[in-house]
Amino acid sequence: MSDTRPAAKLIDGKRISSEVRAEWKVRADRLCALVATPGLTVIMVGENPASGLYVRNKLRACEEMGIRSELRLYPADTPEQTVLESIRALNADPTCHGILVQLPLPPQISVRHALEAISPDKDVDGFHLYNVGGLITGETVFPPCTPYGVMMLLDRTGIPVTGQNVTIVGASNIVGKPMGLMFLQREATVAICHVKTRDLTQYTIAADILVVAAGQPNLVTGPMVRTGAVVIDVGINRLPDGSLIGDVDFDSVSRKASYITPVPGGVGPMTVTMLLCNTVAAAERSYAQLKAA
Ligand code: NDP
């Protein structure tokens, strides 16, 4: 007998992303008309093909939003000092509002040194320790883009967060951990799972909202998900045939969940969108400070 249970509703990241971009474009245009164009500089060291693709996407998205963007591409053997000096010069440049260091970096450059060199006021990726620490108190200047995008997807879909049981699979510094802090700030009850978690299912099955960011194709399957749960798949895994899949087995999980994000077209578009929002917000703050001075 075929399964007649209704499939989960799709959370359409492309549509929500377009809406958010249109709203923020109005703010970017207003800044351009009143004071100056918001500016983002991307620093990339070495030519990693995957990073190159991400960077080109970000630069194209900037152009569409009316943000002036610049790529500073350094050879793979560039010394750390050169990159740090470039970041410090950008910190002092009033036409640059956001600085992004594209990861990964070659081994001679410490990721920590590079990220800490960025002024917290221009740290539009939200990876500086100041911004990471601000997530604890709810006073971060720039929320990190992927978790910020997940929150935006939930809010724009009208899914309540307060008081919900949230499980996050994945505890990385850029997704899982900040995601957990953002949910806690919104008064959800949070479990963060990682490789050493014993019996993953006991956590996933308890979740009203399940966020999966492990980088493991089809890690979460239908029997691991509570009926009616909201499932957000952050994972991006490229198969040998070139297609992309997430960390969630879409077929089995979409029969249990009430809402689910597709891959591609779910969280991915939101990450770039939130970078654009953070850059426009940085420019707005910079001009508000100039006006107040
Ligand atoms: P990392 O590899 O840095 O972290 C993966 C996390 O998942 C780690 O905490 C790891 O645990 C945990 N993990 C791995 N396997 C398991 C498992 N079997 N059970 C439980 N936990 C597990 O990855 P990222 O956080 O950078 O990215 C995660 C995924 O999200 C990737 O597919 C990436 O491509 C994607 N991504 C998507 C973005 C988007 O815009 N859609 C943006 C950023 C990332 P431990 O800490 O113990 O090693």
| Residue 1 counted as domain residue | no
192 lines ligand 1 (CB under 6 A): no
Same domain, residue pair 167 and 93 = no
DSSP designation for 173? T
C-alpha 244 chain-centroid distance: 18
Q: What is the CATH number of the domain that holds 172?
A: 3.40.50.720
Number of Cβ within 10 Å of residue 36's Cβ equals 15
Which amino acid is present at 94?
Answer: P
Alpha carbons 225 and 243: distance in angstroms, whole number: 25
Same domain, residue pair 169 and 57 = no
| Residue 14 counted as domain residue | no
Which amino acid is present at 43?
Answer: I
Same domain, residue pair 51 and 134 = yes
The whole model's pTM is what? 0.96
| Residue 230 counted as domain residue | yes
pLDDT at 140: 85
Last residue of a domain, one of 92, 123, 139: 139
| Residue 29 counted as domain residue | no
| Residue 292 counted as domain residue | no
| Residue 181 counted as domain residue | yes
Same domain, residue pair 131 and 162 = no
| Residue 235 counted as domain residue | yes
234 lines ligand 1 (CB under 6 A): yes
Same domain, residue pair 110 and 151 = no
Same domain, residue pair 149 and 128 = no
Same domain, residue pair 74 and 177 = no
| Residue 289 counted as domain residue | no
Q: What is the CATH number of the domain that holds 110?
A: 3.40.50.10860
Same domain, residue pair 132 and 228 = no
Q: Strand 98-101 vs strand 165-169: parallel, antiparallel, or unpaired?
A: unpaired
pLDDT at 245: 97
| Residue tagged active-site, from 12, 121, 125, 208 | 125
Number of domains within the chain: 2
Same domain, residue pair 148 and 263 = yes
Alpha carbons 234 and 264: distance in angstroms, whole number: 10
Using the mean position of ligand 1's atoms as its centre, give its distance from the Cα of residue 288 in Å. 37
Domain that holds residue 109: 36-139
Alpha carbons 107 and 235: distance in angstroms, whole number: 25
Point out the ligand 1 atom lying closest to the alpha carbon of residue 197.
Answer: 20
Last residue of a domain, one of 139, 154, 180: 139
Task: Return per-residue pLDDT of the chain as tens, 293 residues.
Answer: 555 555 899 999 999 999 999 999 999 999 999 989 999 999 999 988 888 888 999 999 999 999 999 999 999 999 999 999 999 999 999 999 999 999 999 999 999 999 999 999 999 999 999 999 999 998 888 999 999 999 999 999 999 999 999 999 999 999 999 999 999 999 999 999 999 999 999 999 999 999 999 999 999 999 999 999 999 999 999 999 999 999 999 999 999 999 999 999 999 999 999 999 999 999 999 998 888 88
Same domain, residue pair 161 and 122 = no
The residue to mutate among 125, 194, 198, having the most atoms of ligand 1 within 8 angstroms of its beta carbon, is: 194
* Whole-Å CA distances, 74 to 41, 48, 149, 269: 13, 12, 29, 27
200 lines ligand 1 (CB under 6 A): yes
58 included as an active-site residue:
yes
Same domain, residue pair 258 and 150 = yes
